Structure 1
């Protein structure tokens, strides 16, 4: 079987006649990873993150792009802006790792934890009791983080629309929506009063005085929305040469030009099954 994936994000250029590269490079939380024939071309991004990078915060459940538990945030080339980039939320169970060449990926581990402090989105979700079993929580937070990074601010409508692809089987959604809406620029007063300031999202109010806790547990601060941008440090460094990787009985092609696509299609024997991969939504 032969799998061929044209890279639409690379500008058209003349065929240099150079041999195709055998590896891709991507970054996860600011660290480079090189992927070659040791990783099968059908490996999904969520499996790569969990098994190779060994970060288990990203979950998976449906493997069909329907539940949102595997959501990551990635900075990728912007087709509408030459040399530009954009930040999006990605369903990692559908994204094949070889389609992620040059991507800068952020996982839930990059936002915050007990040692370094939590991101404001994480604090809000906790403060509104928006998590029970916790399996959907990383995907919920990363979906909102991607929306926040791409737009710069949140509205209540954005919160509802962005979470349309995330499922929760425990909380009934109300506390999750309330948590993220409390950080919106148009947040209702009753939600804003629950969290006086975005930086205080994780602090507890005294039921008697209404004041925020000032104990040592409240002194670990993070930088709110700008908590972590180092995941984008490697964007744009991926070479635009043709790529050809062979693993087991599958060959993955990523031509850099449209002419390269036609050339590969012509040279492939008709006995091989060929599939063009872009978003890989046919997998779901």
Structure 2
């Protein structure tokens, strides 16, 4: 057997020695089969413009696949559906396509086939989807035109918990509780994983203001926007952000500015996030940073280098300073 066989939109195709090593499924669909609905774009599986639906085996569900990442010679036994296979002008458009159009979910249209195929794959693989699950699936596709809201409006129509009205609530106003799945009552809550209610709406903490004896203004803030608001309002006065304040030991302050803003209570400035790199919160203390370095260097091989930084920071100051120094 010197050929591999697969189906595209219900038709069998086979490839063998006539294709080069680097021919991807995307190349084959566009150049050999003349199915241009599947788009070229980033060629890095980042934008989703090239997504197709593939059933990769007899007992596997339909899944979304970035065709730019799959070599056509890897498609043995696959059953592939492109956007042309879901519907079109002559055969009639699918429900996914018409719903997206009705909600004005496309502008330039370049990303639209990828969105359609991503959602088509999701709906084929899972019959009962919630609005939350649909929104969480959006990481596979990028759109620079619509701002995502009309796309959300369109695809959430297929959710089992979608409201009866045709218009889904704007994402900025979509107050759904992660725990109860019902409307958020905006009480104090620790779960901000998905909730679209702004944290400051339910946070009981508020800015503390003290007029000090020497006439200076002291602010203790709990949100970054509070600090920025104070700075913008006090732009004619000098100010200082008070963090660990340990630099005062090395560089004595003989004349404090008129405004002092304590930022140690801002949780947004603490912790870390991972994208391709490690991004540390600017408000994390050296002790907290050491804990982060230790955790990541032990759990992830590509952060093993943090062991060296961990050893270095342990030689900086001492525990009492590192516990407050940022």
| TM norm. shorter chain > 0.5 | yes
Q: Is the 8 A contact 1:41 1:97 kept in 2?
A: no
**Aligned residue for 1:182?**
157
Q: Which has the higher contact order (CA 8 A, sep 6+)?
A: 1
**Aligned residue for 2:6?**
26
Give secondary structure in 1 for the equivalent of 2:56.
Answer: strand
Q: Is the 8 A contact 1:28 1:105 kept in 2?
A: yes
The answer to whether 1:69 aligns with 2:55 is no
Q: In 1, Cα distance between the equivalents of 2:95 and 2:70?
A: 27
With the length of structure 1 as denominator, give the TM-score of the two structures: 0.57
**Aligned residue for 1:260?**
none
**Aligned residue for 1:52?**
32
Structure 1 unpaired stretches of 5+: 1-20, 78-82, 195-284
Give deviations 1:167-216, integer Å, cap 9, x for gaps: 0010000000110001211113333689xxxxxxxxxxxxxxxxxxxxxx
Q: Which has the larger radius of gyration?
A: 2
Q: In 2, Cα distance between the equivalents of 1:177 and 1:138?
A: 15
With the length of structure 2 as denominator, give the TM-score of the two structures: 0.50
Q: In 2, Cα distance between the equivalents of 1:33 and 1:25?
A: 6
Q: In 2, Cα distance between the equivalents of 1:153 and 1:145?
A: 13
CA shift at 1:59, angstroms?
0.6
Q: In 1, Cα distance between the equivalents of 2:9 and 2:103?
A: 27
**Aligned residue for 2:121?**
146
**Aligned residue for 2:140?**
165
Q: RMSD in angstroms over aligned alpha carbons?
A: 1.6
**Aligned residue for 1:111?**
86
Q: Is the 8 A contact 1:75 1:105 kept in 2?
A: yes
**Aligned residue for 2:301?**
none
Residue in structure 2 matching 1:37, options 5, 14, 17: 17
Q: Is the 8 A contact 2:153 2:167 kept in 1?
A: no
Q: In 2, Cα distance between the equivalents of 1:151 and 1:115?
A: 28
Correspondence list, 1:92-103, <5 A: 92-103=67-78
Correspondence list, 1:248-259, <5 A: none
**Aligned residue for 2:166?**
191
